[in-house]
């Protein structure tokens, strides 16, 4: 029988956010394709998307099948890699109730971010899973 705790823990990665962000920026990758899932109590929660980024701007966003285009007014709910780092840095400064960040082994971008800003507020937590980076030239 497995015992599961309801209490979440803050996971401390072996590299801090600023180190990972500097490593990412040093690679000079500003154009890429990447998959992302945002989970929250919000629009498009749980939708797996393929994002095309050019010069750190989203230029295309579609579902993971590549069939359904996500309307431009909803692109704000998804984040480029630089935006993920900036989001993580900002929330970490504010000492959230729970914070987890994991990084890609090669490129050091955040593959997983979980933030629960406050245990006193319901439904304010969110997470991003970001994977399958394909750098573009």
Write the pLDDT tens digit of every residue in 69-114: 999 998 999 999 999 999 999 999 988 889 999 999 999 999 999 9
Element (H or E) spanning 89, and its range?
helix 81-93
103, β-bridge pairs: 110
Confidence of residue 14 (pLDDT cuts 50, 70, 90): low
Residue 32 predicted with pLDDT over 60:
yes
CB 115 within 8 A of CB 11: no
The predicted model scores a pTM of 0.84
Cα angle value 107/110/115 (rounded, 5°): 170
* Whole-number percent of the chain with pLDDT over 90: 64
56-78 CB burial, b ≥16 within 10 A, e <16: eebebbeeeeeeeebeeeebebb
Q: Which residue has the higher pLDDT, 117 or 98?
A: 98
Instruction: Tell me what pLDDT residue 6 has.
Output: 41
The conformational region for residue 123 under phi > 0 = left, psi -120 to 50 = alpha, else beta, is left
Average pLDDT, the chain: 86
């Amino acid at each position: 029988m497995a015992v599961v705790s309801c209490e979440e823990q803050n996971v401390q990665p072996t590299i801090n956010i600023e180190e990972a962000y500097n490593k990412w920026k040093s690679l000079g990758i500003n154009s890429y394709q990447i998959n992302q899932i945002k989970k929250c109590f919000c629009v498009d929660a749980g939708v797996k998307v393929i994002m095309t980024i050019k010069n750190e701007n989203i230029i295309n966003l579609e579902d993971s099948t590549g069939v359904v285009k996500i309307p431009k007014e909803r692109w704000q709910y998804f984040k480029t890699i630089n935006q993920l780092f900036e989001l993580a840095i900002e929330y970490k400064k504010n000492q959230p109730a729970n914070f987890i960040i994991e990084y890609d082994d090669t490129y050091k971008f955040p593959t997983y971010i979980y933030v629960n800003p406050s245990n006193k507020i319901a439904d304010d937590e969110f997470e991003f899973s970001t994977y399958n980076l394909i750098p573009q030239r």
